[in-house]
Amino acid sequence: MDEARLREIPVFAGLSKKQRKFVAQVADEIDVEQGTPLCREGQSAYEFFAIEKGTAKVVRGDQYLNQLGPGEFFGEMGVLSKEPRNASVIAESPMTAIVITGPAFRHIDREMPEVAKRIRFAIDERRHWLEPVT
Q: At what angle are helices 17-26 and 102-111 packed, to 10 degrees?
A: 170
User: What SS3 class is residue 99?
Assistant: strand
pLDDT at 83 over 70: yes
pLDDT at 2 over 90: no
Q: Which domain holds residue 53?
A: 3-130
User: Looking at per-residue confidence, does 44 or 123 come out higher?
Assistant: 44
User: Looking at per-residue confidence, does 131 or 79 come out higher?
Assistant: 79
pLDDT tier at 133, thresholds 50, 70, 90: low
pLDDT tier at 120, thresholds 50, 70, 90: confident
pTM across the whole model:
0.86
Q: At what angle are helices 102-111 and 113-130 packed, to 10 degrees?
A: 120
- At 110 the pLDDT is 85
pLDDT at 124 over 80: no
21-58 pLDDT tens trace: 989 999 999 999 999 999 999 999 999 999 999 999 99
Domains of the chain: total: 1
User: What SS3 class is residue 75?
Assistant: coil
| Portion of the chain with pLDDT greater than 90, in percent | 50
- At 130 the pLDDT is 61
CATH number at residue 115: 2.60.120.10
